[in-house]
Amino acid sequence: MLVPRTPGVLSALGMILADDVRDYSQAVLKALDDASGRLSTLFDALQARAQADLTSDEVPWDEILIRRELDMRYLGQSHELTVPEPPTGMWDAAFHRMHQLRYNHQAPQDPIEVVTARISLIRRRQKPQLHPLPSGPRNATLARVGSSEVVVAGITVPALTYDRDKLQAGNQIVGPALVFQLDTTIYIPPDWEGTVDTWGNLTLIPVG
């Protein structure tokens, strides 16, 4: 079991680490051979819509990275693959290659259908810096703050308590134990052991 460094606010951390993304799409539903001449026009129209939205929201256009993609499938398939725009412009080759990677086969002789054209506007967000923990001994004595009691299978047993902010990379905690931090409390059962990695994650494994 992996307990991240901030389990109680992990979703919030993900939100502030994620870039701002806006997606625009247009149904196509045409064979690639028939649609290839219109793709540039479709993408330009989607980009014009996107640029108008950003302008109204006062988002600087020069801060935006544009990603173009097509949802594609072999004619007759019920599922599609989202293929990023290839540098060569060879959408068919890119689709065959992705199909091979995903499903371990391809059919270059079969016609390809374009289902949807997509663009994503990505605005890179300045991210907080996550710092690795300093290395420490196997024994987590420096993080120990006392003891408590826990109930295991109806029996009250003693449990050591630890301050997670004081844990170091390489520390190991043997259960039963409680690890306190601002956003949660972690319970390590008997016959389980927790190990702290470089980024502060606590990995719990049974050792009994």
Q: What percent of the chain has pLDDT over 90?
A: 79
Please, what's the largest Cα pairwise distance for the chain? 74
Share the mean pLDDT of the chain: 93
Residues in the chain, how many? Answer: 208
- Tokens 């004619």 belong to residue: 75
Q: Which two three-digit tokens encode residue 154? A: 């109806």
Domains in the chain with CATH codes = 19-123 (3.30.1490), 132-206 (no CATH)
- Mean pLDDT for 130-152 is 94
Q: Is the pTM of this model over 0.75?
A: no
Beta bridge partners of 113: 31, 73
d(CA 78, CA 157): 57
Instruction: Select from 189, 126, 181, 15 the least CA-distant residue to 201.
Output: 181
What pLDDT digit, counting tens, does each position of 34-91 carry? 988 889 999 999 999 998 888 888 878 778 899 999 999 999 999 999 999 999 889 9
Using alpha carbons, select from 135, 130, 128, 204 the residue that is nearest to residue 167: 135
